Amino acid sequence: MSNIADEMHFKSLGKKSLKDAVKDWEAENEGKKLCDEEWVDLIWRGIGDLDESSLDYISNCKKLSLSSNLIVKVPNLRFSRLEIVSLGRNMIR
């Protein structure tokens, strides 16, 4: 998909908070808790809001992929174990 098509697709879905994306992930992966995962993959989730209070849900990860979302601003990620962050194809300014 082109960037314009991506943006149109996400706008039709509406933006989600990180908290909502985590709930969706946990529902799809029955029995697992995202906070226990070392590799957090939240690609194509429509995430637009990375408020600092929601970051606790993913603070245990080593590899964090938030690519292809609607993220505009990234707060300070102070995760002690974090090694890799992927934020490509967002709307970060």
pLDDT, one tens digit per residue, over 42-53 is: 999 999 988 888
Ranges of residues in the chain with a pLDDT under 70 are 1-13
pLDDT in the model for residue 1: 47
pLDDT in the model for residue 87: 96
pLDDT in the model for residue 24: 94
pLDDT in the model for residue 56: 87
Q: Are 15 and 49 within 8 A, CB to CB?
A: yes
Q: Could you give the CA distance from residue 58 to residue 9 in angstroms, rounded to a whole number?
A: 25
pTM for this structure? 0.82
